[in-house]
Amino acid sequence: MRFTRRAAVAVVGVAALLAASACGSSDGSSGGGSGSKKVEVFTWWADGGEKAGLDGLVAQFGKDCAGQEFVNGAVAGGAGANAKNVLASRLQQSDPPDTFQAHAGAELQDYIKAGQVEDLSADYDTWGLKTAFPAGLIQNLTVDGKIYSVPANIHRANVVWTNKKVVADAGITDDPKDMASFIADLDKLKAKGIKTPLAVGKDWTMLMLLESVLITDLGADKFTGLWNGTTDWNGADVTKGINDFKTLLTYTNTDRDALDWTDAEKLVMDGKAAYQLMGDWEAADMDAKKFADYGWFTFPGNGDTYQWLADSFVLPKGAKNVDGTKCWLKTVGSADGQKAFNTKKGSIPARIDASPADYPKYQQAAMADWKTFKQVPSCAHGSGCSQGFQGAANSALGAFSTNQDVAGLQKAMATAASQFAAK
Amino acid sequence: MRRLRHWGPGLLLLSPSLILLAIFVYGLIAWTTKMSVSDQHTALKSNGFVGLDNYKNLFTNDIQDRFVHSLRNLLIFTVVFLVGAMLFGLIWALILERGVRAEGFFRTIYLFPMAVSFVASGVVWRWLMNPVVGDGAGGINALFASLHLDFLQNKWWTNPTWGMAAMAMPAIWQLSGYVMALFLAGFRGIPQELREAAAMDGASTYRLYRNVIFPQLTPVALSALIILGHMSMKMFDLIMSVSGPQWLTEVPAVYVWQTLLTSDYAKAAAISIVLLLLVAVVIVPYLIYTNRAEKNS
């Protein structure tokens, strides 16, 4: 009995000691942060062209911001879903990274509304960014007169990527210009033994495809309206768009729900599919994978629309190393930084003073288009939709993949729009 | 003073875990409940009380009945998982109990999958359950093709109706060994005298198991069911690593995660509470039952 009591006291003592040491260590780590020269950059760029772009940016950061140390806080996972989860919990715990990646546009508004990011308008003036970026982009970035993020790049979503050999073997010489000729080409490929000429992956990649079809069937202005609440999702033109989308799905691989975009890309590279609709990061990724025989065209019927999305960096409220973060943001917005990043990632610079000669041929074409085309946002990539809207849309597309219920998808999107759009 | 000395040390010993439980389990349940009746649908602070609206909306007003769909997925998963794991566990335990050579070896083999995390096995099963049928099949489907059993090829978890049954396969593979261990312990706990007495009475092997041994295994079977059942209802990691979060395989736990991602805290809290109640419906009667059984013995 005496022994057990002594043991009990010992156990309690050890527990108390452990608790004390645990508190002590956490105090130490948070206290050490204030004078830190480390800049933790939180992204979802963990491999492929994205990682190469980040490395380029880091090299430039090393030159521009001597004395600051880059800390990679990348979290891998398709379209950033995993990273966003980690970020959300860190912001909840008031433990933000020094800067984080966020899609510019509607998605950033979630953070702005929550008061989680700082106003950068004054720095835009200091760094001369208001004249370096096109006026249209500045206008898109401005929320209630303030700018909260520095875009590192511009991507385009409505591009179809092709396997040139497969397309040529089917006797297709011209890029399709409208939905009818696109479907005729898909039929030709099918007749040549390409069972699934159009490669697609899980929910969000199908959402991208649906968006492109809707741009064709509704036109740029009405399409933009779908995401800000001015176009009715219940309209007959939307029904036609969803039916066209359903037709296109019959040309796609049936295992789409199990594939990420890189798996679908592999179908194109392996010649099992001829086409894939994907953002223009696919160019850099195919280059990195040493696949040179690819072509591209704007989604049939999209005409002069540039469905844009941008990755941008922000200054979170409560960042530990504000000077370091501002230096990072300055690098991101600078001509050298944008060049270092975009030549590797396969995107184009948001700046209009960049020299096209520095870029590969796809980007040269895209840079020319960026200045003259009509801009529309992308829901799947956050320039058009808040995260809630994206989540509902992805879920609806996931359901449509198996049930093929046109009315059901239309109703789901209409409900989601009334719930999330334009609030 | 004497009474204090009587229960004081015990209370002191328990107090750290009591305090931790009070804060991190019951405190957070209370906080989640409060959140689930608020209207905090964004990251913005707002603490309006909306009663049971969030719950009502889950069942009646969710886009495409997403929540009901996730419950249905969970039901299929749970039934297949429980039946499968119990069946395999019982069969393996019976075989080992009947005396096989190298029992220790097989016991270890059957138990090993349990040591693997759901995330790790999920990644492997994601590849095994490759849904491509015919040309370009992979994983189990490729195996079927090379054995000329092509008719067995199927779409596994991407089947819209029965996909969740396929999703239960990795879980069965992982936990059958555990059920086997429980049953084996149950078998070993039955005194030899009972078997001898039955043999003396001229009972056949079938009668011996049917009337003497199985009735004594009921508490073991019940424990196994409860343990597997509550694991199944909270299933998250396996599904996240096999299919990722998506409509086809969404269960309430994954839905909570997806909802949190969009900062809809009230809705996520409501789903969590529904999930907690579901688990409680299974666990609480069991706890009451075991409490009574212990008092009676």
Contacts of range A412-416, beta carbons closer than 8 Å, 24 or more positions apart: A412/B63, A412/B64, A413/A233, A413/A238, A414/A232, A414/A233, A414/A234, A415/B63, A416/A389, A416/A392, A416/B63
Residues of A in contact with B261 (CB under 8 A): 81, 84-85, 88, 387, 391
β-pair type (A38-42, A99-103): parallel
CB contact under 8 A, B246 and A85: no
Q: What is the pLDDT of residue B43?
A: 66
A126, A44: one domain: yes
State yes or no: pLDDT of A101 exceeds 60: yes
CB contact under 8 A, A412 and B9: no
A133, A59: one domain: yes
What is d(CA A338, CA A331) in angstroms, rounded to the nearest whole number?
8
Domain ranges, residue A190: 156-308+378-420
Residues of B in contact with A107 (CB under 8 A): none
Residue A269 lies in a domain: yes
Question: Of the given ranges (A3-7, A73-77, A95-99, B256-260), which has the lowest mean pLDDT?
Answer: A3-7
For chain A, how many structural domains are there in total? Answer: 2
CB A88 within 8 A of CB B261: yes
Nearest to A416 among B63, B243, B261 (CB): B63
Q: What is the pLDDT of residue A377?
A: 86
Residue B235 lies in a domain: yes
pLDDT band at A104 (very low <50, low <70, confident <90, very high): confident
pLDDT digits (tens, 9 = 90+) for A192-246: 888 899 999 988 999 999 999 999 999 888 898 888 888 899 999 999 999 999 9
A206, A63: one domain: no
Q: Please compute the mean of the pLDDT values over residues B106-121 and round it to a whole number.
A: 88
pLDDT digits (tens, 9 = 90+) for A338-386: 998 988 887 889 888 888 888 888 888 888 888 888 888 899 888 888 8
pLDDT digits (tens, 9 = 90+) for A387-410: 888 889 999 999 999 889 999 999
Q: What is the pTM of this model?
A: 0.81
CB contact under 8 A, B131 and A258: yes
State yes or no: pLDDT of A10 exceeds 60: no
Q: What is the pLDDT of residue A130?
A: 86
Boundary of a domain, candidates A371, A386, A403 = A371
Judge whether A60 is closer than 8 Å to chain B, CB to CB.
no
Judge whether B162 is closer than 8 Å to chain A, CB to CB.
no
Residue B98 lies in a domain: yes
A161, A292: one domain: yes
Give chain B's mean pLDDT: 87
CB A148 within 8 A of CB A213: no
> Which residues 86-115 of A have a C-beta within 8 angstroms of B?
88, 91, 110-111, 113-114
Residues of B in contact with A84 (CB under 8 A): 261
Q: What is the pLDDT of residue A357?
A: 85
A391, A330: one domain: no
- As a whole-number percent, the residues of chain A with pLDDT over 70 amount to 90
Residue B135 lies in a domain: no
Residue B189 lies in a domain: yes
Please give the structure tokens belonging to residue B41. Answer: 């649908």
CATH code, B210: 1.10.3720.10
Domain ranges, residue B189: 54-112+160-296
pLDDT band at A31 (very low <50, low <70, confident <90, very high): very low
Residue A28 lies in a domain: no
Residues in chain A: 423
Collapse the DSSP code of B282 into the 3-class scheme (helix H, G, I; strand E, B; otherwise coil) and give the result: helix
Q: Does the model's ipTM exceed the 0.85 cut?
A: no
Q: Please compute the mean of the pLDDT values over residues A259-274 and round it to a whole number.
A: 90
Question: Of the given ranges (A50-54, A135-139, A152-156, A328-332), which has the lowest mean pLDDT?
Answer: A135-139
A45, A135: one domain: yes
CB contact under 8 A, A392 and B16: no
Judge whether A272 is closer than 8 Å to chain B, CB to CB.
yes
Q: What is the pLDDT of residue B90?
A: 92
pLDDT digits (tens, 9 = 90+) for B210-249: 888 888 888 889 889 988 998 999 899 999 999 888 888 9
Residues of A in contact with B133 (CB under 8 A): 254
A256, A399: one domain: yes
A174, A285: one domain: yes
Q: What is the pLDDT of residue A15?
A: 53
Q: What is the pLDDT of residue B1?
A: 65
Q: What is the dihedral of CA A57, A277, A403, A406, to 10 degrees?
A: 110
A249, A173: one domain: yes
pLDDT band at B199 (very low <50, low <70, confident <90, very high): confident
- As a whole-number percent, the residues of chain B with pLDDT over 90 amount to 34
Residue B202 lies in a domain: yes
Residue A13 lies in a domain: no
CB contact under 8 A, A412 and B63: yes
A194, A150: one domain: no
CB B205 within 8 A of CB B144: no
For chain B, how many structural domains are there in total? Answer: 1
The CA distance from A272 to the nearest CA of chain B, in Å, is 10
Residue A3 lies in a domain: no
Residue B34 lies in a domain: no
Q: What is the pLDDT of residue B46?
A: 66
CB A341 within 8 A of CB A332: yes
pLDDT band at A94 (very low <50, low <70, confident <90, very high): confident
A135, A185: one domain: no
Question: Of the given ranges (A26-35, A104-113, B52-61, B229-238), which has the lowest mean pLDDT?
Answer: A26-35
Residue B155 lies in a domain: no
CATH code, A108: 3.40.190.10
A186, A277: one domain: yes
